[in-house]
Amino acid sequence: MIRIRRMTPADARLGMRLKQQAGWNQTEADWRRFLDLEPDGCFVAELDDKPVATTTTCVFGVIGWIAMVLVDVPVRGRGLASALLRHALGYLDEKGVLTVRLDATPLGQRVHEKLGFVADYPLVRYEGALPARDPIAGVETVRSEDLAQILEFDRSVTSTNREQLLTRLFQEWPEGFRMVRKGEQCVGFLAVRPGAAAFQMGPCGASPSAAPLLFADACHRHPFQRVYLDIPAANTAATSLAECLGLKAQRRLLRMHHGQTIAERIPMLWASSGPEKG
């Protein structure tokens, strides 16, 4: 029998074990962030009273995200992922969400489609060690007073108010945030944070002139570090830039939605924050 309950901090150990099975990059800090941002919207599925699967949600106004749909290998194929997704959709509906989004793995895509999710666009995960670069002029350290500019810029790119997410990422790893201005306006930003297997580069929203500066600056600040970078496949300038840095395509994800379509500015979206929150 499947029973779904709220996730608690004690379930981080389960989450870490399941994400390790899947070979994902999350840390315990990521699981704490999921719970802090949406404490009532993270769930564990139990099978015969044993916790065996997880999912998380996050609400950005009328837009919600589902992530971390993980099922223990021995019990896959028994409806746990579908049960969790239905439960998460019900929770988000009660919160007034009009659009639910997620980044699907090839393994999960069929399950999502059966529940009414449709494709938006593919993303490609690039992986590799960053080359060393000289210091880059025009790229600045982000201060807390700069966050309002970054949030406004991010909204213009993603059509989503991600204030709680970006503020939390900045609080956790402020040294990972960098930005480019034109006059007094933000024209690009990049966040980098540590992961279990590699640094996660993203989110990155930027103009076509600012993005190469931000990527080169990341090489200067994190030389020879292994990174993951999730890029919309349609942003060919971003994929070319990643390849010029020596990064290799590792896997593909499919961004999907349930409900109303969200119009993102793909040429300005150079890296996702990761599959957890887009």
Q: State the DSSP code for 131.
A: P
Give the pLDDT score at 182: 95
Q: Is the dihedral of CA 229, 15, 60, 149 positive or negative?
A: negative
Does some domain include residue 163? yes
The number of C-alpha atoms within 13 Å of 119 and in the hemisphere containing its C-beta is 11
Q: Cα separation of 157 and 153, whole Å? A: 7
Q: How far apart are CA 13 and CA 262, in angstroms?
A: 34
CATH number at residue 167: 3.40.630.90
Q: 46: which strand partners?
A: 3, 51
Lookup: tokens for 21: 């099975």
- Whether residue 114 lies inside any domain: the answer is no
Amino acid 205 reads: G
For residue 106, is it within any domain? no
Predicted confidence at residue 268, as pLDDT, reads 98
Looking at residue 81, its pLDDT comes to 95
**107 part of a folded domain:** no
Q: Are residues 147 and 255 in the same domain?
A: yes
The residue type at 70 = L
Residues 138 and 262 in one domain: yes
* 69 and 11 inside one domain: yes
Same domain, 155 and 259: yes
Contact 66, 85 (CB under 8 A): yes
Model confidence at 107, in pLDDT bands (50, 70, 90)?
confident
What lies within 8 Å, CB to CB, of 190 at 6+ separation is 177, 178, 179, 201, 202, 203, 204, 206, 214, 215, 217, 218, 270, 271
Domain closes at, from 97, 114, 134: 97
- Tell me, yes or no, whether 142 and 267 share the same domain: yes
Q: Is the confidence at residue 73, as pLDDT, over 90?
A: yes
Q: In angstroms, rounded to a whole number, what is the distance separating the alpha carbons of residues 44 and 229?
A: 28
Indicate the pLDDT class of residue 108, thresholds 50, 70 and 90: confident
| Shared-domain flag, residues 130 and 267 | yes
The number of residues making up the chain comes to 278
52 and 9 in a single domain? The answer is yes
Q: Are 112 and 85 in contact (CB under 8 A)?
A: yes
Q: Which domain holds residue 224?
A: 125-271
Give 187-207 pLDDT, tens digit per residue: 999 999 999 999 999 999 999
Greater model confidence, 275 or 172: 172
Residues 86, 165: one domain?
no
Task: Tell whether 131 and 92 lie within a shared domain.
Answer: no
Indicate if 132 and 245 belong to the same structural domain: yes
Q: Tell me what pLDDT residue 245 has.
A: 97
Looking at the fold, whether 182 and 231 belong to one and the same domain comes out as: yes
Q: What is the mean pLDDT of the chain?
A: 97
What's the rounded Cα separation, in Å, for the pair 57 and 276?
9
Q: Are residues 141 and 253 in the same domain?
A: yes
Indicate whether 53 belongs to any domain. yes
pLDDT of 140-197, one tens digit each? 999 999 999 999 999 999 999 999 999 999 999 999 999 999 998 999 999 999 999 9
Tokens, residue 172: 């956790």
How many domains are there within the chain? 2
